[in-house]
Chain A
Amino acid sequence: MTDKVLVIAEHNSQYPAVDTLRTLQAAQSLHSDIDVMVIGYGCEAVAEALRTCQGIDRVWLADDAVYEHHLAENMAELIADVGKDYRHILAPATTFGKNLLPRVAALLDVGQLSDVVEIESADTVVRPIYAGNALCRVKSLDAIKVMTIRSSAFASVSTQGGNAQVSALEQVIKSTQSQFIERQQAQSERPQLGAARVVVSGGRGLGSKQQFQLVEQLADKLGGAIGASRAAVDAGFVSNDLQVGQTGKIVAPELYIAVGISGAIQHVAGMKDSKVIVAINSDPDAPIFQLADYGLVGDLFEIMPKLIDAL
C-alpha cells in the first residue's frame, strides 16, 4: 500500500465540480501525493483540467459508456478495486459522493467518515453531528480511511501550476442491476448555491411563488445564489435542490440573507457558518435573530422592495 490519497472527482463531463477542487484542497492537508480518479463517458476534458491542478501526481481516467450516468453499483466496484492500494479515499460530500463512497467503504470492509470539516492528521478528523450542534473529533482505526469532505469548509485548490500524468483505466464494469432512466436538471443562470459569495434565502414568510420573486430580485442585485427553507420548498415556491439545511445544501457564503425564515435547527445547520448573516423577519422572537449579525424586524413586503432599490 502506498501512502497516497485518492480523490474521486465529481464532474459534468466538461469540467470538475467546484466541490472536487475543494476536496482536493482538503486532500492537501494529508501531506502525501494525491491521485485523482475521473469516471464517466466523454470526460477527457475533465482529466485535462485536473491535470494542471496544484499538487496532483496522477489522474486516473475511466472513460466508457457504462459510466455515463455515474451509477453507484459499478463505479463503487471500480473505485474499491483501484482504491485498495491507497491509504485515503476522498470524495465531496455532495449527493454524488454520499451516494457512492459508503458503498466503496463497505466493499473495502472499512468505516467511513462523513462530511469532514477539518483534517487534523492522517487518521483524525472533525465532523459535525446533531445538525451541527456538536462537533466530533474522531479517529479512524481502519487501514484505508474513506471520507467525504464538506465543501463549504475548504477553499478551492488552484487550477494552475500542476503537471500530472493522465493514465487510462481499462476496466469496464457493466451495471447489470440498475439502469438510468432520466434526469431533470434545474436550469439556472445564477451562481451555484454551494459556491456563491452571496446567498439570499426565502422561507414560508414569502407566502407564494410569485412573492418569492422578491428573493430572486435581491439575489440578482447582489450577484448571489438563491436558497430556501424546507417550508418554502414544500410549499412549491422553489425546487428542492435549493433547500439549505441539515438534509439539503450546506453553505458558508460571505453574506447570507434569510428572508421570512424562522431559523429552525434543521435550517440553521446549513448556513450557520456563513461569514455575515442578515435576517429579515416580522417576528422579533424568531430564533434566526439569535444567529444574525444584522437583524431587521418588519414586514418583508415593505422591506424587500426598499432594500432592492437601495442597492
Chain B
Amino acid sequence: MKVLVAIKRVVDAYVKVRVKSDGSGVETNNVKMAINPFCEIAVEEAIRLREAGSADEVVVVSIGALACQEQLRTALALGADRAIHIETEQVPEPLSVAKLLHAVMEKEQPGLVLLGKQSIDTDNNQVAQMLAALSGRPQGTFASAVQVQGQDVMVTREIDGGLETLKLNLPAIISTDLRLNEPRYASLPNIMKAKRKPMEVLSAESLGVTLIQHQQVLEVMSPPQRRAGIVVSGVDELVDKLRNEAKVID
C-alpha cells in the first residue's frame, strides 16, 4: 500500500510572530520556518507503517513556493521515498489545497492519506475533512492511534471528553493529533541521501485545478494587550486580592 502524506511549511512553532504594522499579515521575512508539527507526526506515522510492513511506499507532497522543497527534503531525510511539490506563488485556501491533494490522490491512488490535524499558522483544521469529502472517502480526524487491518484501518480519535475508536474502509483520510507518536530526527547520512531522492514538480494547471478565492483577508491585527499584572508577596495577599480587588472568589 502506498501512503500519501501532505506537509506544510510554516513559521516555526517556537517563534512568537509579529503582526505587520500595515495590517496585511504577520512578518515572515527572516523568520525560522519548519515543517508544521502535526505534519511531522503524519510523516513519522507513515514511516512507521512502512517499517511495520503495512505500507510499501511513502510519498510526501507539499504546496507552495519553491522554498517548501526544503521541508520536502527534510521529510525525505526522515524516511519518505519520494516527494511531489505543487508549485504555486499564491497561498491556496484549505478548499483549494484539498482539491489539489484530491488530484494527486487520483494520480497516485494511495491506500491511505495522512495529514496533520491543523497547521499552526492559519489554525484552520479543515483540509483532511475537505479532502475526505471530495474523494468520497471516510475520515479519521485527530488520530492518536492508527492500525491497518487488511482492508480497514482502526483509528483512535481524541475527542472532547475522551477517546473514540472507528473502523474505516481503505482508502481513508487520517489527520494526526499530537499524541499519535514522537517524530524522529533526521541523521546526517540520511540528510545526504535525501538529496538524491526523486522530487517531482507539478503545477495547479497540470493537475487541472483552478484556484478559486473563497475568502478575502481584510486585516490582520494584534490581539488586545493585557494590563500588566503584579507579583504578590504570599498566599494571604493573593487571596485578599482575588476576594476584594478582582472579586472572583467569595
Using a CB–CB cutoff of 8 Å, the interface residues on chain A facing chain B are 71-73, 76, 94-96, 98-107, 109-115, 124, 128-142, 176-186, 194, 198, 222, 230, 233-234, 239-241, 246-247, 249, 254-255, 265-266, 272, 275-278, 284, 289, 291-297, 303, 306-307, 310-311
| A to B CB contacts below 8 Å, 7 in the list | A129-B122, A133-B19, A134-B223, A179-B168, A241-B160, A265-B13, A294-B246
Which residues of the partner chain B approach A114 to less than 8 Å between Cβ atoms? 123-126
The answer to whether A138 touches B216, judged by C-beta atoms less than 8 angstroms apart, is yes
Give Cα A266–Cα B121 distance, bound, in whole angstroms: 12
Known: A114-B126, A178-B169, A179-B168. 17 other contacts (CB 8 A): A72-B141, A73-B139, A95-B160, A105-B126, A130-B26, A137-B221, A139-B218, A142-B215, A181-B154, A184-B162, A233-B179, A240-B144, A247-B177, A265-B14, A276-B248, A294-B229, A306-B235
A128 in contact with B214 (CB, 8 Å): no
In the bound complex, how far is the Cα of B98 from the Cα of A217, in angstroms?
46
Set of chain A residues within 8 Å of B248, measured between Cβ atoms = 198, 254-255, 275-276
B: interface residue count bin: 35 or more
Q: Identify A106's interface contact among B120, B133, B142, B236, CB under 8 A.
A: B133
What residues of B have a CB within 8 angstroms of the CB of A99 in the complex?
A: 129, 139, 141-142
A129 to B134, CA, bound (A): 25
A73→B125 CA distance, assembly (Å) = 17
Chain B: minimal CB distance from A222 (Å): 6
**B192 lies within 8 A of chain A by Cβ:** no
List the 4 shortest-distance A-B pairs measured between CB atoms, nearest first: A111-B214, A102-B129, A106-B133, A106-B130
B contact patch SS:
mixed
Which among B51-59, B80-88, B195-203, B237-245 touches the partner chain? B237-245
What 0/1 readout, one digit per residue, does chain B (106-137) give for beta carbons within 8 Å of chain A?
00000000000110111111111111111001
Whether the pair A247, B118 counts as a contact (CB closer than 8 A) is yes
Query: In the bound complex, do residue B126 and residue A278 qualify as a contact, i.e. CB atoms below 8 Å apart?
Result: no
Whether, in the assembled complex, B64 has its beta carbon less than 8 Å from a beta carbon of chain A, the answer is no
Q: Which of A103, A222, A291 contacts B130 (CB 8 A)?
A: A103
- Across the interface, do B231 and A297 meet the contact criterion of CB distance under 8 Å? yes
Whose C-beta in chain B lies nearest to the C-beta of A130?
B17
Chain A residues within an 8 Å CB radius of B241: 294
Evaluate whether A277 and B229 lie within 8 angstroms (CB atoms) in the complex, with A107-B133, A183-B164, A255-B248 already known: yes
Min C-beta distance of B158 to chain A, whole Å: 6
Task: Kindly state whether residue B67 has any CB partner on chain A within 8 Å.
Answer: no
Complex interface: chain A residues within 8 A of B89 (CB)? none
Q: Given known contacts A177-B137, A310-B239, is B229 in contact with A98 (CB within 8 Å)?
A: no
B222, A134: Cβ atoms closer than 8 Å? yes
A5 to B157 Cα, complex, angstroms: 30
Give Cα A103 to B98, complex, Å.
Answer: 11
Tell me whether A186 and B124 are in contact (CB under 8 A): no
Contacts of A284 in B (CB 8 A): 231
Which residue of chain B has the shortest Cβ distance to A176 in the bound complex?
A: B169
> Does B166 belong to the interface (CB within 8 Å)?
yes
With a cutoff of 8 Å between Cβ atoms, the chain B residues found around residue A124 in the complex are 218
- Whether B249 and A311, one on each chain, are in contact in the complex, defined by CB atoms closer than 8 angstroms, is yes
Q: Which residues of B contact A95 (CB under 8 A)?
A: 141-142, 157-160
Contacts of B163 in A (CB 8 A): 183-184, 240
Query: In the complex, which of the residues B19, B128, B179, B214 contacts A110, with contact meaning CB atoms closer than 8 Å?
Result: B214
Residue of A nearest to B137 (CB): A177
